[in-house]
Amino acid sequence: MKFRLLPAVAAALLCAPFAASAQGLFGQALTSQTTHDMPATCDNARFLADQQGLEQSGPTRIDLPEHLCGQVLAISPKAKRTRSGWHGYFYVSVGQGVSIRIVSDLDQMNAPQWPWVNKGDQVEVQGRYYYDSLRRQGVDWTHHGTSRKWRWPGYVVVNGTRYQ
């Protein structure tokens, strides 16, 4: 009897990763993509839940559409050149003592010379949340473009002025 049970247990263990992959992020069913479509309005609570889920599961190589609002806590006063062009960086408070780095592709955005955001400004950000590690996470793709892999155009609204 013991030997008949062993193959069944082994089969169940082998199939467990496939069963897990049939679930969406953090236990949500993947029957449709609506669970992770871009929110129509700011949804800091969803962002905080997504961030907490990624902190618990670790990097997943999955980027999430996020729509955030908050106050600018800090900015990088000088734009930095990366492999993909010039970028401006600032941090936004999203509640519960959490801030997130916002990455703006200055080559792609229709905006004045950097910095066009200041500490204390109220902002609304739509973009792609990436989580590489606890220290390497942020929201990028805040410009108007889309791609095969990213279908949502991004933007940043600063005190009512929209940059994309």
Tell me the helix, strand and coil percentages in the chain, rounded to 5.
25, 35, 40
Specify the pLDDT at position 35: 56
pLDDT tens per residue, range 97-127: 999 999 999 999 989 999 999 999 999 999 9
> CATH for 44-163?
2.40.50.140
Give the Cβ contact number of residue 117 at 10 Å. Answer: 22
Specify the pLDDT at position 20: 37
Per the confidence metrics, is the pTM higher than 0.85?
Answer: no
Domain boundaries of the chain, sorted by first residue? 44-163
Residues (pLDDT < 70) of the chain are 1-35
Q: What amino acid is encoded at 60 in this protein?
A: T
How many whole angstroms separate alpha carbon 69 and alpha carbon 65? 14
Specify the pLDDT at position 28: 42
How many whole angstroms separate alpha carbon 113 and alpha carbon 82? 17
Specify the pLDDT at position 60: 85
Specify the pLDDT at position 21: 34
